[in-house]
Amino acid sequence: MTTTVENASGTTKNNPPSNADKVSRRQVDKFSERRDQLAEAALQTLAELGYARTSLREIAQNSEFSHGVLHYYFSDKVDLITHCVRHYKARCVTRYDGIVTTAQTPAQLRSGFGTLLAETMIDEPTMHRLWYDLRAQSLFEESFRADVAAIDTSLENMIWRIVIRYAELLGTEPAIASSAMYGIFDGLFQQSLLRHLSGDENASTYLSESVQAILLLAVPTPNP
């Protein structure tokens, strides 16, 4: 942290961070990096087993890290699971930035978004299942609620960036508010995920086509 010191002449100057401050920050950064590494290692076990059937010991048995190491970096299972899902969803919310910045027409953005959303459902179904598991648990576990709310907000913002850009390309305004828009897409994604996990081979096509149809309704093409 930079400190401000008044000298004999009455003027002030900013002192650079001390070595102790630098060491402290490095230690915090290393601790955070280690938590992220452990989260990556734990994600697959969590995604396969779900919240109720997973313990720190179970995760340790399915990774290269000991139970003691996990307990050092995470206070309990709730701490680990919320960090894991936050870590994963932080990547998810940037997944669609490319199509937002590169799409030149409404049709390109509509098609690209629908395709990417279907692809992530097919490629990482257990990860998304873990998120819905955690969100359902937050109805009963108060300790989950703040993290779930924060993740929900980041996902809503992600969807809204796409909708706003789509409206800009059309030269109009969305007909549906941000929270309602997120609720529609989230419900559709969860429904499609369940269909996919149940063996429906058309689930991804259904998701992609439905997403595009919703955009057409939510952001109507202006009359010429």
Q: What pLDDT does 78 receive?
A: 79
- Check if the beta carbon of residue 56 is closer than 8 Å to that of residue 67: yes
CA atoms within 13 A on the CB side of 57: 1
pTM confidence score: 0.76
H/E stretch holding 14: strand 12-15
Residue 22: is its pLDDT beyond 70? no
152-200 pLDDT, tens digit each: 998 999 999 999 999 999 999 999 999 999 999 999 999 999 999 999 9
**Bigger pLDDT: 132 vs 58:** 132
Q: What mean pLDDT value characterizes the chain?
A: 84
Residue type, 129: R
The percent of residues in the chain predicted with pLDDT above 70, rounded, is 87
